């Protein structure tokens, strides 16, 4: 399973926005940024390690 991650807030709540025929765009549901190139990870462990390095947390989302 692949993870798309917002480069602004590191959230995994990144979804297709529009333009898939002329260029992909994504939108982060947490910060609202529109993204052309999200960060992608193949494994959840890689994402958690990245998030821990960038934010100093364990990668779990608080609700």
At 14-56, the pLDDT tens digits run 998 887 666 789 999 999 999 989 999 999 999 999 989 988 8
pTM, entire model:
0.73
**Domain extents in the chain:** 3-55
CA distances from 3 to 22, 43 (A): 22, 7
| Bridging pattern class, strands 34-35 and 25-28 | antiparallel
């Amino acid at each position: 399973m692949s993870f798309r991650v917002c480069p602004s807030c590191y959230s995994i709540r990144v979804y297709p926005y529009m333009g898939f025929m002329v260029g992909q765009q994504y939108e982060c549901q947490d910060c609202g940024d529109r993204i052309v190139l999200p960060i992608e990870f193949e494994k959840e462990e890689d994402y958690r390690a990245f998030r821990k390095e960038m934010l100093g947390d364990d990668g779990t989302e608080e609700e």
